[in-house]
């Protein structure tokens, strides 16, 4: 549990520090904008359409006080641009808050930019993005108007947070993923990536959160994924993955959430997964897993019994008698086991230490 907390603390620290620095810089009237950076921002703004009140200048010429701009208190440089669309579903016209247009190369004059959030807009991304070498946080979710990704994005080797979700992307970013050695959070979900990229993540040991769900990666989970010792959240649902799960998944002891649903996984659920002592949510539904529960997650040994809160095995080819010791899952609140070939009348689930911690719903018993 302690180790999980530290992974989560790392994750939150990343956001919190960014935010804190932003607030400090915004409220400190002494930080004033560097002239060349003001010029760059003006050009950048000039190439955007519908900039709807973002980057609006406050009082005077100090660009550090502009909405969405953050400067470092220490060095005075612009370090943050947060231009996410605050009202993505504006009624009646959802387009009205979206930034449009192109990213101007003038952005490169912001040498110290480490935070860029352009999410929920309609922006044309250019290659200049790959030259913003100081970037640590990049959010382009729901934002890329033309579905291409700069080929040189891999040059952003300091990135800690990368979110490209919901862009209908397919393309060569995959070749360069392995260069993001500082990456903590990677979200490529809801795109059309069609090659197996998991292998290239194996050396990225800082990863805490991976979401590749809803793509067409295909292939298998590589054994080396078990190297990602800090991984807490792994979402791989609906990605056309196949083959058995490697037993090295049991090495990911910091996992709190594992979603492998909606794929073609087969074979037995590996015994080693009993060792996932921090796993709270396990979704293996809609796959082709076979074998008996008693030899896998349902085994009476291993600490997964203490942590699991939500378990779905719905729609697999699991069989055999439902093991009595299912009742030993102390914190299980939801269990979905329908569409399998289990037998056994019913399971007595033990009450947990408090009412909240007892099983709330249980589907699939025939
Ligand atoms: C940005 O705007 C300038 C001035 O209007 C124009 O010359 C330039 O072509 C634009 N660049 C892009 C990338 O749109
Ligand atoms: C810009 O906003 C106006 C409404 O203010 C809208 O009619 C127009 O479609 C938007 N243009 C783009 C490119 O989003
Ligand atoms: C980006 O990386 C490529 C190698 O993949 C290199 O050729 C190029 O010069 C780099 N670009 C910048 C701006 O550093
Ligand atoms: C990525 O962006 C989407 C949409 O903005 C958001 O819902 C999601 O939480 C982000 N992912 C991560 C891991 O932060
Ligand atoms: C992936 O998609 C591209 C087009 O975007 C296509 O050329 C390529 O053949 C596809 N690869 C696979 C393995 O399906
Ligand atoms: C991981 O690192 C090792 C040692 O540096 C290297 O041999 C291997 O090719 C790397 N794997 C990937 C997938 O990049
Ligand atoms: C990883 O898992 C494999 C297979 O379960 C096991 O043999 C190996 O000892 C584990 N490695 C570590 C570092 O825990
Ligand atoms: C160096 C500098 O500009 N210091 C100013 C910071 O802001 C306060 C008031 O907000 C001024 O009194 C200082 O002179």
User: What are the angstrom distances between the C-alpha of 38 and each of 25, 61, 358?
Assistant: 16, 8, 58
DSSP state letter for 349? P
Whose C-alpha lies nearest to ligand 8, atom 5? Answer: 30
pLDDT of residue 241: 97
Distance 86 CA to ligand 2 centre (A): 16
Q: How confident is the prediction along the chain (366 residues), in pLDDT tens digits per residue?
A: 455 565 555 555 555 444 444 444 444 455 688 999 999 999 998 888 876 677 876 556 789 988 899 999 888 999 999 999 988 887 888 778 888 888 889 999 999 999 999 999 988 888 888 899 999 999 999 988 766 777 788 889 999 999 999 998 886 666 778 889 999 999 999 998 888 889 999 999 999 999 999 999 999 999 999 999 999 999 999 999 999 999 999 999 999 999 999 999 999 999 899 999 999 999 999 999 999 876 555 555 678 888 999 999 999 999 887 766 676 788 888 888 889 988 764 444 444 333 333 344 444 443
What is the per-residue pLDDT for 322? 73
User: Greatest CA separation found in the chain?
Assistant: 76
What letter does residue 311 receive in the DSSP assignment?
E
Among candidate residues 6, 306, 288, 8, the one with its CA nearest the CA of residue 297: 306
- Asked whether 137 lines ligand 4 (CB < 6 A), one says no
Quickly count: other Cβ atoms within 10 Å of residue 344's Cβ. Answer: 14
Number of residues that this document lists for the chain: 366
Nearest CA to ligand 2 atom 6: 96
Half-sphere exposure of 79 (CA within 13 A, CB side): 21
CA of 155 from ligand 3 middle (Å) equals 6
Domain boundaries, the chain: 2-363
The preferred substitution site among 25, 29, 30 for testing ligand 8, maximizing ligand atoms within 8 Å of CB, is 30
Report the Cα 83 to chain-centroid distance in Å.
Answer: 20
End-to-end CA distance of the chain: 36
For residue 152, give the ligand 3 atom closest to its CA.
Answer: 1
Given the CA of residue 47, which atom of ligand 1 is nearest to it? Answer: 1
pLDDT of residue 4: 56
Whether the ω angle into residue 228 lies within 30 degrees of 0, i.e. cis, is no
To 5 degrees, how large is the angle CA 57–CA 13–CA 252? 135
- Sign of the C-alpha dihedral computed for residues 314, 320, 322 and 328 taken in this order: negative
Q: Is 194 in the pocket of ligand 5 (CB under 6 A)?
A: yes
Phi-psi region of 13 (alpha: psi -120 to 50; beta: other; left: phi over 0): alpha
Measured by CA distance, the residue closest to atom 11 of ligand 7 is 251
pLDDT of residue 315: 95
> How is 268-298 classified by DSSP, letter by letter?
PPPGGGGG-TT--EEE--SSEEEEEGGGTTT
Q: Is any atom of ligand 2 closer than 6 Å to the C-beta of 50? A: yes
Instruction: Output the residue whose Cα is nearest ligand 7's atom 10.
Output: 251
The dihedral sign for the CA sequence 2, 3, 4, 5: positive
Check residue 212 and give its pLDDT.
Answer: 96
CA-nearest residue, atom 2 of ligand 4: 141
**Is residue 281 within 8 Å of 259, Cβ to Cβ?**
yes
pLDDT, residue 17, reads 45
**pLDDT for position 2:** 52
> What does the buried/exposed string (b/e) look like for 293-331 if buried means 16 or more CB atoms within 10 Å of the residue's CB?
bbebbbbeebebbebbbbbbbbbbebebebbebbeebbb
Pick the CATH number of 2-363 from 3.80.10.10, 3.40.50.300, 3.40.50.1820, 3.40.630.30: 3.80.10.10
User: How much distance in Å is there from the Cα of 345 to the middle of ligand 4?
Assistant: 42
Q: Which of 206, 194, 201 lies closest to 221, judged by CA? A: 201
Is the C-beta atom of 296 inside 6 A of ligand 4?
no
Give strand pairing partners of 162.
138, 186
| Ligand 2 in reach of 320 Cβ (< 6 A) | no
Distance from C-alpha of 103 to C-alpha of 67, rounded to nearest angstrom: 18
């Amino acid at each position: 549990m302690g180790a999980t907390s530290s992974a989560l603390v790392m994750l939150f620290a990343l956001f919190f520090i960014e935010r804190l620095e932003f607030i400090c810089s915004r409220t400190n009237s002494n930080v004033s904008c560097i002239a060349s950076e003001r010029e760059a921002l003006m050009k950048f703004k000039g190439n955007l359409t519908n900039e709807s009140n973002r980057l609006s200048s406050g009082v005077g010429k100090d660009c550090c006080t502009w909405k969405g701009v953050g400067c470092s208190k220490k060095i005075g440089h612009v370090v943050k641009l947060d231009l996410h669309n605050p009202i993505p579903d504006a009624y009646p016209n959802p387009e009205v808050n979206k930034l449009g247009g192109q990213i101007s190369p003038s952005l490169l004059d912001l040498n110290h930019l480490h935070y860029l959030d352009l999410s929920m807009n309609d922006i044309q991304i250019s290659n200049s993005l790959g030259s913003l070498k100081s970037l640590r946080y990049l959010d382009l979710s729901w934002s890329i108007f033309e579905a291409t990704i700069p080929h040189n994005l891999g040059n952003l080797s300091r990135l800690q947070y990368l979110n490209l979700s919901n862009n209908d992307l397919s393309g060569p970013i995959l070749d360069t993923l392995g260069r993001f050695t500082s990456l903590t959070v990677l979200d490529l979900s809801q795109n059309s990536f069609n090659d197996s990229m998991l292998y290239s993540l194996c050396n990225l040991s800082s990863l805490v959160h991976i979401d590749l769900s809803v793509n067409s990666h295909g292939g298998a989970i590589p054994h080396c994924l078990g190297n990602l010792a800090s991984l807490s959240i792994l979402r791989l649902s609906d990605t056309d993955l196949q083959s058995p799960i490697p037993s090295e998944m049991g090495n990911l002891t910091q996992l709190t959430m594992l979603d492998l649903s909606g794929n073609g996984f087969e074979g037995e659920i590996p015994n080693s997964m009993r060792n996932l002592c921090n796993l709270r949510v396990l979704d293996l539904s809609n796959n082709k897993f076979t074998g008996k529960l008693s030899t896998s997650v349902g085994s009476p040994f291993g600490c997964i019994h203490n942590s699991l809160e939500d378990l779905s095995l719905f729609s697999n080819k699991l069989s055999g008698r439902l093991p009595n010791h299912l009742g030993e899952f102390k914190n299980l609140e939801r269990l979905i086991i329908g569409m399998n070939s289990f037998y056994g009348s019913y399971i007595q689930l033990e009450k947990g230490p408090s009412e909240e911690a007892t099983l709330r719903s249980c589907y699939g018993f025939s």
